[in-house]
Amino acid sequence: MSEVKSYKDLLIWQRGIALSKDIYTLTSDFPAQEQYGITSQMRRCSVSVPSNIAEGFGKSTASYINFLKISRGSLYELDTQLILSRELGLTKDEKLISQLENEIAELGKMINALLIKLK
């Protein structure tokens, strides 16, 4: 196993970046009237996931735990917004939504595992 020298070495951060990119792709097809609504909100919270992982990495263990909890909260918020976007009919790409739901679940497990390891 290689040594972690940077938050960029963390698989959890890398997958958070990939999730954000996928959310940007998904929301690019949302209606224009949602630009300042759910589109903006989904993008912001998806970016929050890897951003808080990165920010917390450079702090004390206690602070890192708090940043990971914020990241987890953003992930759950994103999951809720994904469900809402489906129910509102903002997207018809069921395959991508299913992939995103699975990725959100996996990232949640990874964050929980890291939190347990750090405590």
Provide block-wise average pLDDT over 10 residues at a time, the chain (119 residues): 85 98 95 93 98 96 97 98 94 90 97 95
Contacts of 106 (CB under 8 A, 6+ apart): 15
Q: Which domain holds residue 66?
A: 7-118
Q: CB count, 10 Å around CB of 15?
A: 17
What is the domain count for the chain? Answer: 1
The pLDDT assigned to 28 comes to 94
Give counts: helices (H), strands (E), the chain: 4, 0
pLDDT at 39: 96
Tokens in use for 59?
């702090």
The answer as to whether 58 is a domain residue is yes
Q: What is the pLDDT of residue 4?
A: 83
Structure confidence at residue 119 (pLDDT): 86
2 lies in some domain? no
